[in-house]
Amino acid sequence: MAVIDTDTEQEYVLPCGRGLDSVWDRLDTVRNGGGDAHEASCIHCRTARESLLGLRTATRELIDQPDPPPSDLVERIMSAVRSELRRGQALGLPTPHAGTVAVSEQAVAVVLRYAADSVPGVRARRCRMQAVGTGPDGETVVHISMTIAVEVNGDGVHGLVPKVREAVTAAASARTGLVVGRLDIAIVDVYQEGGR
């Protein structure tokens, strides 16, 4: 199975440097106790291997089904595929102990969405980011694009976006060590209390 990045026509490479094809080719070897020290300890290889095993199991179920597949089978397959793609690129976050640690964009986005959700009357929807350089102390500078939903009430939305901007920027700095170069916020939905 060749996993190719269609934008660049190159093999998909995990943040640890191993190709996803290599992980796929060695699924059974590693599962049966074989493999090298890297494969046994690498979180990126282990996560990819678990996703690929789930994909292979779901695919085999689909092939072996003489009747129409279960209604959730396609969703299970797509969930396994999305789980790997959703993580995004790894961002280098500074540590107080020396150097940086690589964390997925998805993990950082969870922290930033939580910060937006902490503003009363706001629910974060989507958060995407792109590393655009490094700051004066070596920290990663990112551009963030976030969509939010706001609560329908008599107060309106006046002043919510600046509060979200402040909360997200503070969380990026305090919780992740990232520097926000640009933060675009768009209101894309409304909700009533008790709903999403």
Burial annotation 125-137 (CB, 10 A radius, 16+ → b, else e): bebebebeeeeee
Output the six-digit token pair for 26. Answer: 């060695």
Range among 20-34, 123-137, 152-166 rated most confident:
123-137
Higher pLDDT, 10 or 5: 10
Q: What is the mean pLDDT of residues 60-79?
A: 72
Output the six-digit token pair for 84. Answer: 């790997």
Residue 196, in any domain of the structure: no
Side chain identity, residue 36: D
Rg (CA), the chain: 21
Q: Which residue, 32, 56, 86, sits at the end of a domain?
A: 86
Lowest mean pLDDT: which of 39-53, 56-70, 174-188? 56-70
Residue 134, in any domain of the structure: yes
* Same domain assignment for residues 100 and 139: yes
Q: Which residue, 86, 120, 153, sits at the end of a domain?
A: 86
Instruction: Indicate if the pLDDT at residue 22 is higher than 90.
Output: no
Please state the pTM of the whole predicted model: 0.52
Q: What is the mean pLDDT of residues 131-138?
A: 80
* Same domain assignment for residues 106 and 123: yes
Instruction: Indicate if the pLDDT at residue 13 is higher than 90.
Output: no
Could you give the 3-state DSSP secondary structure of residue 57?
helix
* Same domain assignment for residues 110 and 186: yes
Q: What is the mean pLDDT of residues 108-129?
A: 90
Higher pLDDT, 24 or 88: 24
Phi/psi at 70 (nearest 5 deg)?
-55, 150
3-state helix, strand, coil in the chain (%, to 5): 40, 30, 30
Q: How many distinct structural domains can be found in the chain?
A: 2
Task: Give the domain extent around 155.
Answer: 94-191
Q: What is the mean pLDDT of residues 62-83?
A: 69
* Same domain assignment for residues 67 and 100: no
